Amino acid sequence: MTLQESGEMYLETILILSEKKNDVRSIDICEEMGFSKPSISRAIHLLENGGYLSIDGNGYITLTDVGHEIAEKIYERHKVLTALFVGIGVDEDTASEDACRIEHVISDKTFQAIKKHMKEHGLQN
């Protein structure tokens, strides 16, 4: 199953929520993303069927190793691209919004070049 941008967004959101609180449920994702419960439920079950997350008997959502790996990759891209854009003078909100769109389509090759450039120029720790 090839993961679409929306699936990556869900995984990233679950990762971020799990860093804030131990237990993540569908309602938390609804509140964070602003989507309806039926939309979240459908997406969560598709991601579960794809092997990206698991849901226990109490409705708690946990990323699988594969899901966690994808979420970390997307979240790193988000943070790095946001930092790059802020570093060149874009306001934080716009930088974050643009990074959110770009993080899903940028190639690994280009992203690695950006990271290398930022490190060489002291723009990233």
Which pLDDT score is estimated for 100?
Answer: 92
Which pLDDT score is estimated for 2?
Answer: 61
What are the residue ranges in the chain where pLDDT is below 50? Answer: none
pTM: 0.88
Which pLDDT score is estimated for 124?
Answer: 66
User: Beta strand 53-55 with 61-63: parallel, antiparallel or unpaired?
Assistant: antiparallel
Tell me the per-residue pLDDT of 85-97, one tens digit each, with 9 for 90 and over.
999 999 999 999 9
In order of start, what are the domains of the chain with their CATH numbers? Answer: 5-69 (1.10.10.10), 71-120 (1.10.60)
CA dihedral 47, 50, 54, 57 (to 10 degrees): 90
